[in-house]
Amino acid sequence: MDKANKDNRHVYWNPYFGGFLLGLLIIFTFYMTGRGLGASGAMKSSVVTLVDKVSHEHTINNGYYSKFVKDGESPMNTWLVFESLGVLAGAFISGSISGRIGFRVQHSPKITSRRRLVFALGGGVLFGLGAQIARGCTSGAALSGMAVLSTGGFITMLAIFGTAYLFAYFFRKNWI
Using the predicted structure, report yes or no on whether residue 77 has a pLDDT greater than 70.
yes
Would you say 144 and 28 are in contact if contact means Cβ atoms under 8 Å apart?
A: no
CA angle 40, 136, 63 (to 5 degrees): 80
Looking at residue 171, its pLDDT comes to: 81
pTM here is: 0.66
Report how far apart, in Å, the C-alpha atoms of 35 and of each of 78, 80, 99, 129 are: 13, 11, 34, 22
Reported as a pLDDT band with limits 50, 70 and 90, residue 132 is confident
- Mean pLDDT in the chain? 83
**Which range, of 46-50, 96-100, 114-118, 165-169, averages the lowest pLDDT?**
96-100
Give the three-state DSSP class for 168.
helix
What tens digit of pLDDT does each residue of 47-62 get?
A: 899 999 999 899 889 9
Taking residue 88's Cβ as centre, other Cβ atoms within 10 Å add up to 10
